[in-house]
Amino acid sequence: MFRAIEVFMAVADMQQMTAAAAALGITQSAASQHIGNLEAALGVRLFDRSSRPMTLTHQGEVLQRHGFRMLNVVEDLRQDLRHLQASSLPMLRIGILASIATTLTPGLFRLVRERLGVPELILSAGLASDHQAALNLRQIDVAITSGQFVAMEGHAAHPVLDEPFLLVLPEDYDGPVDDIDAIAARLSLVRFGADTPVGRRTDQHLQRCRLDLPRAMEADRSSMVVAGVMTGKCFAILTPSLLIDGLAEGMNLRLAPLPFAGFRRGIQVVSRDESLGDIPARLARECALIMQAAVARHMPGFADQVVYHAAANPDH
């Protein structure tokens, strides 16, 4: 029946039996037979053959909606089976936090191509909130992300690092850095939006600390938050990993410890299950080593405040 659904979807898309048959590499009579068999099996008419071009009946429209999902599920199954049958993965799809994408990409490319022997690496940058859905939909194999994935059934997590949130000020700010009220009197807070994981985490901590800071701007990318600080009118609350790409690009900022109770976040490598063997653990080690070197280079004053869980056993 699956082949019949493939034929049905092609005919529904092209609205012509002859063109659909040619696209599928079968004869018109074979395509017509597939459609007839499918209609007989379901007990419905799928096409109005009296119209030109052919149009779907109401039942055909329902099957078309389900057909897209069915074909996607089968394609996912085919990819998973190819992964299991191959001596090595044909490709590795990694979702990665946008804030560390530039820093990690060269090292990940070398690891995946040269040491893991995977021919193709597919990277997609995004927010932590994007990664859970992408993993569940099998759009990615692994996520280098933050957030609460560890407790989720069916996911395996390998910690990379644990980092503090820092005070981020314009380079030429000359006021006190140990008094949040004095800072807020001169600068406004630029922050991640409340619909992002970092934004929610920051808002919750400020509420716990009973702090209501004046706000000038919010964004969903660390580069835009840092750009707000670069205007000289704003300050931000960010972690080293959220700052690393901007500092590597030469953005000049002044960093200081938070002048109120601190808080932290973790980054980990998450996969749906253990079917990738030791690949997620090796990715975690490589990410830890790359981030450790980058933070030491660009933020030496705060390097000892970042804990690297996976760097103790580097991959050779």
Query: pLDDT for 297-314, tens place per residue?
Result: 999 999 999 999 865 444
Rounded to an integer, what distance in angstroms lies between the CA atom of residue 137 and that of residue 231?
A: 40
Q: Beta strands of 83-214 (E only): which ranges? A: 91-97, 120-126, 142-145, 156-164, 166-170, 188-192
Mean pLDDT of 167-195: 93
- Angle subtended by helix axes 240-248 and 101-110, to nearest 10: 80
CA 90 vs. chain centroid, Å, equals: 20
Percent of the chain with pLDDT over 90: 47
Please say if the pLDDT value at position 90 is more than 70: yes
Q: What are phi and psi of 16, to 5 degrees?
A: -155, 125
pLDDT of amino acid 311: 59
pLDDT at position 150 is: 46
Residue 316 pLDDT: 42
- The pLDDT tens digits for 228-259 are 999 999 999 999 999 998 787 778 899 999 99
The torsion region of residue 253 among left (phi > 0), alpha (psi -120 to 50) and beta comes to beta
Own/partner long-range contacts of 312-315 (Cβ < 8 Å, ≥24 apart): 313/285, 314/285, 314/289, 315/111, 315/115, 315/282, 315/285, 315/286
- pLDDT number for residue 142: 93
pLDDT (0 to 100) of residue 302: 94
What φ, ψ does residue 53 adopt, rounded to 5°? -75, 170
What integer is the mean pLDDT of 171-197?
92
- Taking residue 159's Cβ as centre, other Cβ atoms within 10 Å add up to 16
* The pLDDT of residue 95: 93
Angstrom distance (rounded) from CA 222 to CA 101: 12
Q: Which CATH architecture has domain 91-162+265-308?
A: 3-Layer(aba) Sandwich (3.40)
What per-residue confidence (pLDDT) applies to 315?
Answer: 46
Do 2-85 and 91-162+265-308 come out as alike in CATH topology? no
**How high does pLDDT run on average in the chain?**
86
Tell me the mean pLDDT in the region 69-89: 65
Mean pLDDT of 74-99: 72
- Of 270, 313, 264, the C-alpha closest to 288 is 313
Which DSSP state fits 53? S
With bands split at pLDDT 50, 70 and 90, how would you rate the model's confidence at 52?
confident
pLDDT for residue 16 is more than 90: no
CA–CA separation, 18 and 28 (whole Å): 5
Which tokens go with 40?
């007989």
The better pLDDT of the pair 136, 153 is held by 136
Q: What is the arithmetic mean of pLDDT over 155-172? A: 93
Could you state, in order of their start, the residue ranges of all structural domains in the chain? 2-85, 91-162+265-308, 166-262
User: Is 111 a residue whose pLDDT tops 60?
Assistant: yes
Assigned fold of 166-262: D-Maltodextrin-Binding Protein; domain 2 (3.40.190)
CATH architecture, domain 2-85: Orthogonal Bundle (1.10)
